[in-house]
Structure 1
Amino acid sequence: MKVERAYRPKFEKISLERRLDAPREAFDEIVEDIAIRRDNLLMISEDMIELARWLTWETQSAVIEQESATGLKYASKMYAAFFECAREPEKTSTFNIYDLPEVSWNGLGLLESGRIYPGQWFDAYFLAVITRDTDSMNTLATFPVGIMRQSATTTDEVVYSLVEVFQSYHHREKDFPVKLNQAMKALLADGDDWSLDIGMGYLETFAALTTNAGFDFNEVLAKNLQCQEQYQIRESGPNHAPVDSFIPLQLLGTACMWHDCGNEVSVESDSLPRFLIDGRYF
């Protein structure tokens, strides 16, 4: 089942090489930048995700795959560390991330500056799923939703409930199906574009993975891959590339979970790199 991208970047205006310059520079400077300031844990993570997204437009090779996977591995650990700082803001925590210098940070000011919110959590958790980073998954699965609600960045209550759905499944809680069903009803009632196109896409695909509700996983994945790309195209506007659609982390993460359960991911798309679904470098 092949899903072609609807959007094609205008590389004749800004070449792919130029698009890759900034995230590749960030990759080269990770060792230096991680020790400069705490917020670089987040900035570097976002740069590594952007690198992986633009690399999907590169001619694929083992070298390109390794570059993408390595950046995402760093990003997963740094994202989880950033959230861990916010768990007890006054506490100083020490992080040893692969071969990078050891760093110690507290979380003072993170909530006041609005850096902790569900959208960040979705990216962090499903990035950990993609990179098979069990430790980061466990850390994020226990991060209190109540702390997110204290952040200066707020969102609709239904979005917090999505975090609770994923955390509930992670812990294999008995009331997971109830939470899933309630969250889907709340998204439909909310009725805005994000709820219907993005939030429902998360939960429909997750329901196909985790329940016997009659969904065909690959059909639901393909549908929501296209739906979410159209949403990102609209949100980005005519003058900006819908970069988030190049790798939709939540849909890719769910596809990785489906694969790791021993099932076939029959959807073929440049937005769902096969080497990431297979976990080839993790």
Structure 2
Amino acid sequence: MAAVVPVLEEGLANSLQNIETSHRARTGALTTSLNIARIRCVGDPDAVMLETWESWLLAMQVSSAVFAAASSDQETVTCKIRQEERQLTATGPQFYLNAGTWLNAFFLALICRETARLDMLAQVPASLLRDCGGVPDEYVYAWVETLRSFWLRRDDVDQHLVRAVDLSAPEHARIMDPETMSKLKYPPMMMFYRYLRNDAAGFNEALNDALRWHKEYWTADEDRTQNIEGVVAIAPLAIACLAKTNGIPIEVESGYLPTALLDFAWRGEFDA
């Protein structure tokens, strides 16, 4: 992994050079920045090294920036990326700005406790995500609406969450296979349900289940074991960060939950 990072960093630097105007650069920066963050956690599973935290912060900045540009009604939008103010041209809907990308952006902002970026992401209209093309399973839009309504303090959070859970049932899935849905997509929704009810014991049980299923999924065969996506359980980590910030003690320890990210150990060290 140590040998891979410099190669990816070079590619990321090239993408960031052109991120202000290039769609190709934005897609490259989205993928590469998050993969670098994951890879750094292979050698630093607790995320205690400065470089690891910086990589997660950068992934958050990039994913938020592309949505700020997508939803802006101005010609350009100013976004901070790697401590530099960038002027990103506005884009409107684009193929890489789908609901799955939005969820990653929201989860990364939760992990980094970036309320201003969460405010911005919550204002991204669902219509923009639908206009980006592709035909994902309908549950993903209900899950997005759940998180948007929660952050905007609307009173329809439970309604959207119930719909998201119902639509994640195997009989409603058209694109996603049942194993991925049940082991990776459904568990964070149950964690969020327990969080909304301030059920500390139930939350930790749901977190433990989510991590157990995450491990089962990503160690099921050799190909999955080698896939960098499995190194950190991003969605469960994000919901756990939200819960911890709001007073629910996290009693579960796991290599899939980097301790320094969960504890926000780098609080105040960077102007994000």
Matched with 2:270 is: none
Matched with 2:196 is: 210
Quick one: structure 1 residues 27 and 264, their matched pair in 2 at CA, closer, same or farther if it must change by over 3 Å? farther
| C-alpha distance after superposition, 1:113-142 (max 9, x if no partner) | x11111101110010010111111111111
Separation of aligned partners in 2, 1:18 and 1:97:
24
Matched with 1:56 is: 41
Instruction: Indicate yes or no: 2:186 matched with 1:186.
Output: no
Q: CA deviation at 1:106?
A: 2.3
Separation of aligned partners in 2, 1:143 and 1:90:
15
Matched with 2:152 is: 171
Q: CA deviation at 1:268?
A: 1.1
| Code of the aligned partner of 1:46 | T
TM-score (norm 2): 0.84
Q: Where does 1:78-117 land on structure 2 (aligned, <5 Å)?
A: 78-88=62-72, 91-97=75-81, 99-107=83-91, 110-111=93-94, 114-117=95-98
**Partner SS, residue 102 of structure 1:** strand
| C-alpha distance after superposition, 1:182-233 (max 9, x if no partner) | 2212212425333322221120111121125796111211211121233345
Quick one: structure 1 residues 39 and 134, their matched pair in 2 at CA, closer, same or farther if it must change by over 3 Å? farther
Instruction: Indicate yes or no: 2:222 matched with 1:243.
Output: no
Matched with 2:117 is: 136
Q: Where does 1:31-46 land on structure 2 (aligned, <5 Å)?
A: 32=17, 34=19, 37-46=22-31
Q: For this pair of structures, how many residues does the alignment match?
A: 262
Between stretches 114-123 and 74-83, larger displacement belongs to: 74-83
Separation of aligned partners in 2, 1:106 and 1:215:
44
**Partner SS, residue 3 of structure 2:** helix
Instruction: Indicate yes or no: 2:105 matched with 1:124.
Output: yes
Structure 2 gap segments, 5+ residues each: 268-272
**Partner SS, residue 70 of structure 1:** helix
Separation of aligned partners in 2, 1:138 and 1:209:
20
Instruction: Indicate yes or no: 2:174 matched with 1:201.
Output: no
Quick one: structure 1 residues 59 and 274, their matched pair in 2 at CA, closer, same or farther if it must change by over 3 Å? closer
Matched with 1:77 is: 61
Structure 1 gap segments, 5+ residues each: 1-15
Separation of aligned partners in 2, 1:172 and 1:46:
31
The CA RMSD measured in Å over matched residues stands at 2.8
Which protein has greater RCO, CA pairs closer than 8 Å, 6+ apart?
1
Instruction: Indicate yes or no: 2:259 matched with 1:278.
Output: no
- Maintained 8 Å contact 2:97/2:132: yes
Between stretches 223-232 and 161-170, larger displacement belongs to: 223-232
